[in-house]
Structure 1
Amino acid sequence: MANIQKKRDFSSTMRSSNSQFLPSDHAPERPVKVGFVLLEHFSLMAFTAAVDTLVTANLVRTAPLFEHITLGVDSRKALSDLGIEIATNATLEHFAIEHRGSIDILIVCGGFRCELNQNSKLTETLKAADKLGLTLGGIWNGSIAIAHAGLLNDQPCAAHPDNHAFIREQFPLVQLADTALVMADKRASCAGPVSALQMMLTLVDQYYGEDTTRAIREILSCDQVAESGGKMKLQAGDNPTHPENLRSFMQLMNNNIEEPLTLEELAAHVGISRRQMERLFQTHLETSPSRYYLELRITHARRLLLQTNESITNVALASGFVSTSHFSNCYKDYFGVSPTAARAKK
């Protein structure tokens, strides 16, 4: 009887780095559809942060997770705060006729110079969306439109600090938060571009879970500057809260891909026993040092394979594999296809 080789699963630390290239266990019945209402002078930076989250979600999974459309209030174009005009997919009128039944989330995108007075068309659209059970969101001061529709009474809400006085005066029943982001039942609001990204990540997590969110964050937040020292965290899985010894091991492995160190050599470099090293990895990464090292190398190989024209033999050697056959077997174990097939699909 032929041996059936069991597919390997990446440990949680490395899974997000490779999620786009792994066979999908299940695809959603249909993508979650998000509508963005662009107010005149909306914040382009906040809007693109929100949309980029959804686009990246589709990139880190083999099946599309989200669709999005843009909506103009009165016309099929909206002027951003940077003076760049955006052509929208539809107007609120067309939304009511063509798109309302297919939208799951409706988000109003505001900005520093957006009009704060009530717009009757937008109020009617938001009330209709609420009756259909849609999640309603506001970016910058977009939540003011939701408040005008009476849909934030006795509910928490986040907004740009410049609009706090207006909200307190005009909407005494709204529970204005002193935080940049508020997530509540069927409601989401944020104060600006950075919190817009976080708001969308939270919504993604609600629909598709932590693994997808982690994969998106790894791509979009790779250049986030740490408060201490201004250093950038570029290595996948690096976490400033991890013990220093563990981070040293991870860095040593990352710096020695082509000629891997033995576990004994790693332990000697850091100055602790192999047993202590194994305990660190199991406690904080829920994996063993050898498995983490292998997954780091196979991830490095996947990048070289798909991003360069190097031969498969050279990719294997550059990733610390002693033979092409061993590399091919490991690659297929993790990704479900051979290196040759993966490159052909590229």
Structure 2
Amino acid sequence: MLKHIDHTDSTETVLPGAFRSVAQENKKEFSHLWREANRAFLPFDEVDTQIRRVCFILPEHFSMLSFTAAVDALVTANLVHTGPLFSFETYAAGDATVRSDLGIEISTDGGLSDLKSCRLDKYDLIVLCGGYRCSMTENHQLSNILRSAAKNDIIFAGIWNGAIPLAYAGLMDNLNCALHPDNHAFMRERFQKVSVTGNILEIESQVVTSAGPASALEMMLQLIGRLKGRAIMRAIREILSCDQVVDPGNTRLLSIEENPVMPQNLLEIIQLMRANIDDPLSMDDLVACLGISRRQIERLFQNYLQTSPGRYYLELRVTYARRLLLQSNASVTDVAIASGFVTSSHFSNCFKDYFGLSPSQLRERFRKNLS
């Protein structure tokens, strides 16, 4: 027989008054920890649905890693929303085919002559992707295109040493600039109006620059946050930054609730909950396993996770169900059982309370976005 913690605490189902409506009376909001884990699958409020157009300019030997990190952020933005938010085009700084730093040739949408004939004001963002072996000499055709584009309300971004073409066009004057350390000396000597910093990322009102592949992803996240809102940005970050290394000595993939400042008792409770998702433990079971009081357990969760043990356990199971639902072909009934719910109807109601869609509806929307 399945054992359940009581999840009927009324404080867990009431929305703040300013956001409550008749349609939301039964809507549940994830606590902070699980909200971040599920953000990509929750409804977004007040998202600008206008498709923003991005232009990537790729010189010979551009950094493939930097380019794909930036593009990945845009593609993921489209996946986490019900409709596309971004489109992008690529243009080579020379001919239509350009060779990356990996020696891989890619076909672009055209060369600079093709870009010059386009209406530049159709773009919201122009990204210049540099690389370790990219030429430092001025491409006069590119400089003219950038100056022409700057007459419009366009954001410019430079990755690695992509800030150098922007500097040749006069778009970096009196601005802070981040670029690869190998190019600092050249930038300081050649462009004395540019303020080169030691930061990996510099954000100005119209120009954003990053120093390399790792910061290219963060740069795009910040730009997406500016153009589409921080909720979209956080959803993308949750997907793409799960394996970010904070401590070089620890390369293990951490679950979102693991935190080195948490006491061992709390970590043990969480591990017990994770090990008993299909057959949830009661509060009495947790007390018996750990030898600490119910009040101590409640205090640990409130102090370190700002939630109750029951709510945490329920949201852990709902999140587990969401992952299983979207990553397998298991039936809704099987997902419900694997997540510790007695009936599929109880599971479906609980799931819809959190996600605003039934399990079948969320699965259908997710697969439609992938196609």
Give TM-score, length-normalised by structure 2: 0.83
Indicate which of 126, 131, 139 corresponds to 1:119: 139
Deviation at 1:320, TM superposition (A): 1.0
Aligned to 2:204: 184
**Matches of 1:168 and 1:102, distance apart in 2:** 33
| Aligned ranges 1:123-202 → 2 under 5 Å | 123-202=143-222
Deviation at 1:42, TM superposition (A): 0.3
- Residue pair 1:154, 1:175 contacting (<8 A) in 2 also: yes
Instruction: After superposing the two structures, state which structure 1 stretch, 286-295 or 82-91, moved more.
Output: 286-295
Aligned-residue CA RMSD (Å): 2.6
Q: CA separation of 1:43/1:340 partners in 2, compared to 1, >3 Å: closer, same or farther?
A: closer
| Aligned ranges 1:263-278 → 2 under 5 Å | 263-266=283-286, 273-278=293-298
**Matches of 2:229 and 2:262, distance apart in 1:** 23
Q: CA separation of 1:180/1:337 partners in 2, compared to 1, >3 Å: closer, same or farther?
A: closer
Aligned with 1:316: secondary structure? helix
- Residue pair 2:51, 2:87 contacting (<8 A) in 1 also: yes
- Residue pair 1:13, 1:285 contacting (<8 A) in 2 also: yes
| Aligned ranges 1:231-310 → 2 under 5 Å | 231-240=251-260, 246-266=266-286, 273-310=293-330
Q: Please state if 1:229 is matched with 2:229.
A: no
Indicate which of 20, 25, 50 corresponds to 1:30: 50
- Residue pair 1:27, 1:63 contacting (<8 A) in 2 also: no
**Matches of 1:128 and 1:344, distance apart in 2:** 44
Q: CA separation of 1:171/1:14 partners in 2, compared to 1, >3 Å: closer, same or farther?
A: same
Moved over 6 A (4+): none
Contiguous gaps of at least 5 residues in structure 1: none
Aligned to 2:356: 336
- Residue pair 2:48, 2:228 contacting (<8 A) in 1 also: no
Instruction: After superposing the two structures, state which structure 1 stretch, 135-144 or 267-276, moved more.
Output: 267-276
Q: CA separation of 1:199/1:342 partners in 2, compared to 1, >3 Å: closer, same or farther?
A: closer
**Matches of 1:59 and 1:4, distance apart in 2:** 25
Aligned with 2:118: secondary structure? helix
Deviation at 1:264, TM superposition (A): 4.6
User: Deviation string for 1:110-157 (max 9, x for gaps)?
Assistant: 111111111111111221222212111111111011111111122110
- Residue pair 1:19, 1:61 contacting (<8 A) in 2 also: no
- Residue pair 1:39, 1:78 contacting (<8 A) in 2 also: yes
- Residue pair 1:246, 1:277 contacting (<8 A) in 2 also: yes
User: Deviation string for 1:154-181 (max 9, x for gaps)?
Assistant: 2110111111111111111211111222
**Matches of 1:82 and 1:279, distance apart in 2:** 53
Deviation at 1:109, TM superposition (A): 0.5
- Residue pair 1:107, 1:138 contacting (<8 A) in 2 also: yes
Aligned to 1:326: 346
**Matches of 2:53 and 2:101, distance apart in 1:** 25
Deviation at 1:315, TM superposition (A): 1.5
Counting aligned pairs with the same residue, the percent is 50
Q: CA separation of 1:340/1:30 partners in 2, compared to 1, >3 Å: closer, same or farther?
A: closer
Contiguous gaps of at least 5 residues in structure 2: 1-22
Aligned to 2:95: 75
Give TM-score, length-normalised by structure 1: 0.89
**Matches of 1:187 and 1:285, distance apart in 2:** 38
Indicate which of 2, 11, 14 corresponds to 2:31: 11
Q: CA separation of 1:340/1:115 partners in 2, compared to 1, >3 Å: closer, same or farther?
A: closer
Deviation at 1:311, TM superposition (A): 3.1
Deviation at 1:108, TM superposition (A): 0.6
Residue identity in the other structure for 1:42 = F
Residue identity in the other structure for 1:38 = L
Q: CA separation of 1:249/1:64 partners in 2, compared to 1, >3 Å: closer, same or farther?
A: farther
- Residue pair 2:40, 2:232 contacting (<8 A) in 1 also: no
Residue identity in the other structure for 1:52 = D
Aligned with 1:325: secondary structure? helix
Aligned with 2:281: secondary structure? coil
